[in-house]
Amino acid sequence: DAKTTQPTSMDCAEGRAANLPCNHSTISGNEYVYWYRQIHSQGPQYIIHGLKNNETNEMASLIITEDRKSSTLILPHATLRDTAVYYCIVRVAKTGNQFYFGTGTSLTVIP
Amino acid sequence: DSGVTQTPKHLITATGQRVTLRCSPRSGDLSVYWYQQSLDQGLQFLIQYYNGEERAKGNILERFSAQQFPDLHSELNLSSLELGDSALYFCASSVSGGAAQETQYFGPGTRLLVL
């Protein structure tokens, strides 16, 4: 699976948009970009995923660059409950299809 | 609530002992994955089962084993426990485990402490 690079930590003011970048310069054409988050020691929570096009759901938006070498997860109005570690994962269909988690970005939402 | 359940929530045991962790996947999901999260290793994939059969292995020790039963619940068996096995163990499930766009849903985890 392609490697991802994320900032170790970020802060965001409550109510503002949180923009979390991810670099995946070695991504292949059939690899999806997934975002999960982990609040404290809870189970990772699925946020969003995409292949080429930008995606939006009730939690967040995912912007993937045209060359697919990087992406940005956008939380439009961050709340204190969004404080968590955010993982960007790229994934290719193969036997097993397991996720390989990196170190993620620790996002702190500040009141 | 992801729909994946894990028991027990917490487990404290001694070195050399054996424990069993249990996972029930979301209704309709055929694949179960086990992950280990320790402080120094992050989230590591251990093993995957699909409809009762082992599909993929990751960094799973020989002292660890798993199985998936006909009702699709899964158990992770950890034996000859060492201090370093102390970690959070997560189970995840997905519909089939064969597609790149298939989402995995994680359970709340079991926290294992080996003393």
Contact predicate A46/B104, CB 8 Å: yes
| Residue from A36, A89, A98, A105 whose CB has the most chain B CBs within 10 Å, to mutate | A98
Q: What are phi and psi of A87, to 5 degrees?
A: -110, 130
Amino acid at A53: N
pLDDT of residue A96: 58
Find the chain B residues whose C-beta atoms sit closer than 8 A to any C-beta of A.
2, 4, 31, 33, 35, 37, 42-45, 48, 55-56, 58, 88, 90, 92, 94, 97-109, 111
β-bridge pairing B5-7 and B53-57: unpaired
> Is the per-residue pLDDT at A5 higher than 80?
yes
Q: What is the pLDDT of residues B96-110, one digit of tens each?
A: 877 767 899 999 999
Least confident of A53-57, B37-41, B42-46, B78-82: B37-41
Distance CA A58, CA A56 (A): 7
Measure CA B39 to chain center: 17
Mean pLDDT of B36-64: 91
